[in-house]
Amino acid sequence: MSKQQIVVRDLGKMDYQQAWDFQEQLLKENVAKKATAVDIFPKPTTNYLLFVEHPPVYTIGKSGHMENLLLSKDQLEEEGIGFFNTNRGGDITFHGPGQIVGYPIIDLENFFTDIGKYLRFLEETIIRTIGDYGVTGDRSPGETGVWLDPQDKAKARKICAMGVRCSRWVTMHGFALNVNTPLSYFGNIVPCGIADKQVAALNQEVGHDVDIAEVKAKLIKHFSDVFDAEMI
């Protein structure tokens, strides 16, 4: 059986709402294709991996708590930071400069129908990518995303947040990997609703800014290997 293909598209810098609308469009197109191909396998859908960098914005998931945003509406406006309630899972996080946001629009019926496994695959992709820079990523039991030193409460810090939505086994939203991200933005929130752990960025771990295009290339390779897919 031939490998599933995943279309890679780099959207560059894009407002959060515009990227969200584009994801919704691709998801709806795939769901519509599936509705007319109930008994067909593999499903005639198109898989995507979208990369984007957002202007500074805080987003909160369906299970999030507004008290984890530590700024008022007026303060957000003064700082020039956007805010969105989203339909993804998870709590509050930050998107902004120097961060790679990845939005996989994947039809899991052509891979496996297991959201937990999907999240572990995303984590594995990130772990392998930062491992190429000598940074050891890990998982923290019960906390989605990729962590550094999760076993040490004094040192535990999250380098990649994740939150997804799935409709008819088609995914959207995804991961946010801090590469050269100014971590000061995270001081205005309780990241992911976890008060006793910090955040990390790849450049701070390796001691210098990292080439974003190079990181994206590594993400594409590892995504291909982990999902056993052909990236086009």
The set of catalytic residues is 192
Instruction: Return the HEC string of 6-47.
Output: EEEEEEEECCHHHHHHHHHHHHHHHHHHHHCCCCCCCCCCCE
Nearest-angstrom CA–CA distance, 74 and 89? 26
Name the region of 228 (left: φ>0; alpha: ψ -120 to 50; beta: rest): left
- Residue 7 in contact with residue 223, Cβ under 8 Å? no
Nearest-angstrom CA–CA distance, 133 and 230? 24
SS3 52: strand
Element (H, E) at 178: strand 170-178
Tokens of 88: 């993804």
